[in-house]
Amino acid sequence: MDSKVENRGSYIYVQVSGELKKDDESQYNEARRIALEVIKLADQTGITKIFCDAESLSGEISFATRVSFSLFLVNQNIEQLKKRKYVFQVAFLTRSEIIDPGKIAVAILRNRGVNVLVTTDMPEAVRWLGIDTPVKE
């Protein structure tokens, strides 16, 4: 999985791409590393809006990996609340085949205080996040 994390002024831009393989532990670890990189940048800048462009991801994500990663993000969000008293607003743009059909991962995140939108629609994502349309490089 390839990634890029950038400060775009009013939001953090994250781009991830690559072929996902079901139950690949190294990809799960890479996703956690990327999330921690984003959180570090948010800590340094005070930016709370995150736009994650995952339209170039393909492959499969297992149910167990979705749940584990969601719980990891929930715990990171709780730590941020303890330290900084703010909640991230995350728009995750991806292809329909990547989205969890039952939306269990999104439910876990939202039910535990993470403000997240998962969508295949760029205009919806930028409108919800309140940013200009990101320029892809």
Give pTM, 2 decimals.
0.88
Encode the chain (137 residues) as per-residue pLDDT tens digits. 899 999 999 999 999 999 988 878 888 889 989 999 998 999 899 999 999 999 999 988 888 888 888 888 888 888 877 777 677 899 999 998 888 888 888 888 888 878 899 999 999 999 999 998 887 76
Edge-first strand order for the sheet with 49-59 is 2-7, 12-20, 49-59, 89-94, 115-119
Is residue 41 a contact partner of residue 13, using CB atoms and an 8 Å limit?
no
Within-domain flag for 60: yes
Within-domain flag for 103:
yes
C-alpha span between 106 and 116 (Å, rounded):
7
CA-to-CA distance for 72 and 91, rounded, in angstroms?
Answer: 17
CATH number of the CATH domain containing 93: 3.30.750.24
The domain tally of the chain equals: 1
Structural domain range at position 8: 2-129
Residue 23: CA atoms inside 13 Å, Cβ hemisphere, count?
Answer: 0
